[in-house]
Amino acid sequence: MTDGRFISLEGGEGTGKSTQARALAKALEKHGLVVRLTREPGGTPGAEIIRELLLTGGQDKWDMRTEALLFAAARAEHCGKLIRPALARGEWVICDRFIDSSRAYQSVDGELGDSEILALHQVGSKGLMPDRTFILDLPEAVASRRAAARDRGDSDRIGGRDSDYHQAVMAKFRQFAADEPERIHLVDASQSVEAITDMLLQNLEAMMS
Ligand code: TMP
pLDDT of 10 higher than 50: yes
Instruction: Quote the percentage of the chain above a pLDDT of 90.
Output: 88
Helices and strands in the chain: count of H runs, count of E runs: 9, 5
State whether residue 120 is helix, strand or coil.
Answer: helix
Q: What local confidence, expressed as pLDDT, does residue 1 receive?
A: 42
Neighbours of 202 (CB within 10 A): 9
- What number does the ligand 1 atom closest to the CA of 42 have? 20
Q: What local confidence, expressed as pLDDT, does residue 148 receive?
A: 82
Q: What local confidence, expressed as pLDDT, does residue 28 receive?
A: 97
Give the pLDDT confidence of 140-192 residue by residue, as tens digits. Answer: 888 888 888 887 778 899 999 999 999 999 999 999 999 999 999 999 999 99
Beta carbons within 8 Å of 89's beta carbon, 6+ residues apart: 4, 34
Q: Which of 158, 161, 163, 165 to mutate to test the pocket of ligand 1 (most atoms within 8 A of CB)?
A: 158
Give the pLDDT confidence of 84-122 residue by residue, as tens digits. Answer: 999 999 999 999 999 999 999 999 999 999 999 999 999
pLDDT of 2 higher than 60: no
Q: What share of the chain is helix, strand, coil (3-state, %, to 5)?
A: 55, 15, 30
- How would you class 80 by CB atoms within 10 Å of its CB: exposed for 0-12, middle for 13-18, buried for 19 or more? middle
Average pLDDT (39-65) is: 97
What order of strands is seen across the sheet that includes strand 35-39?
A: 35-39, 92-96, 5-11, 132-137, 184-188
Q: What local confidence, expressed as pLDDT, does residue 142 receive?
A: 85
State whether residue 188 is helix, strand or coil.
Answer: strand
Angle, CA 179 vertex, CA 130 and CA 140 arms, to 5°: 85
Side chain identity, residue 199:
M
Q: Cα separation of 206 and 208, whole Å?
A: 6
Instruction: Specify which residues 185 forms β-bridges with.
Output: 134
Q: List residues near ligand 1 (CB under 6 A).
A: 13, 39-41, 55, 71, 97, 101-102, 105-106, 156, 158-159
Task: Judge contact between 173 and 135, C-beta under 8 A.
Answer: yes
Task: Judge contact between 189 and 138, C-beta under 8 A.
Answer: yes
Q: List the residue whose alpha carbon is closest to atom 15 of ligand 1.
A: 105
What is the CA(67)–ligand 1 centre distance, in A?
A: 11
